[in-house]
Amino acid sequence: MTTTKTLVLTAGLAGAIAIGVWAVPRVMDREAQLTDALIANIAEPAAPAAEKAPVAPRRATTVTTVAAMPASAPALHDRLKPVLNRGTNMVVAAEGFSSAEQFATLAYAARNTEVPFMVLKHRVLDEGKTLAAAIRESKPGVNAAAEAVRARATARQEISAMVS
C-alpha cells in the first residue's frame, strides 16, 4: 500500500471516530429527554384545561383514594418502615411530600435501585427533578424510567391495599 492510501485511510478512520464521539452524546441525551417526557406523561398526567362546558362527575378510583392519604399517616409509616433503612426517622423522611403516593414511590425506588432515600428525596423535592432523572443521575447504568414506573406501581398497590 502506498503512503497516500495509508494517509487517506487513516484520515477517514480518524474522521469517523470524531463524528462518533461528537454524535453519541447528543443521541443519548435526546433519548434520555424523550424517556423523561414519556415517564412524566405516564406518571403525572397534566392538569385538565379549564373548560366552560360542564364536566360529568367522575367515579372514584384508587388513584383518588391514594391521593387522599397524607404522607404523615401513621399507617403509611408502619408500612414503609421496613422498606427504608433501619433507624430511619419516619417523620423526617415523610416531610415535604405532597401525598402518600409520592412518599411511597420514592421509598420503593430507593430500595429497588439501592440509591439512598435522602439523595432521591433531595433531587426530586429540592432540585425539582423527575424521579427517573434523579435515579439516572445516581445510577446511570439502571433503566431509570422502568424503575420509576415500577416504584410508582408498587406504591399505588401498597397504599390501595392499606385503604381497602
Q: pLDDT value at position 84?
A: 85
**Does position 143 have pLDDT exceeding 50, yes or no?**
yes
Q: pLDDT value at position 136?
A: 92
Q: pLDDT value at position 2?
A: 87
**Does position 63 have pLDDT exceeding 50, yes or no?**
no
Burial of 118 (0-12, 13-18, 19+ CB in 10 A): middle
Q: Nearest-CA neighbor of 130 among 150, 102, 104, 155? A: 102
**Does position 51 have pLDDT exceeding 70, yes or no?**
no
Q: pLDDT value at position 20?
A: 75
| Amino acid occupying residue 161 | A
Q: pLDDT tens digit string along 64-110?
A: 444 467 777 778 888 888 888 888 888 888 888 888 888 889 999 99
**Does position 149 have pLDDT exceeding 90, yes or no?**
yes
SS (H, E, C) the chain: CCHHHHHHHHHHHHHHHHHHHHHHHHHHHHHHHHHHHHHHHHHCCCCCCCCCCCCCCCCCCHHHHHHHCCCCCHHHHHHHCCCCCCCCCHHHHHCCCCCHHHHHHHHHHHHHHCCCHHHHHHHHHHCCCCHHHHHHHHCCCCCHHHHHHHHHHHHHHHHHHHHC
Q: pLDDT value at position 5?
A: 86
CB 152 within 8 Å of CB 105 = yes
- pTM value is 0.58
For the chain, domain boundaries: 1-44, 62-163
| Average pLDDT of the segment spanning 24-31 | 63
Confidence of residue 146 (pLDDT cuts 50, 70, 90): very high
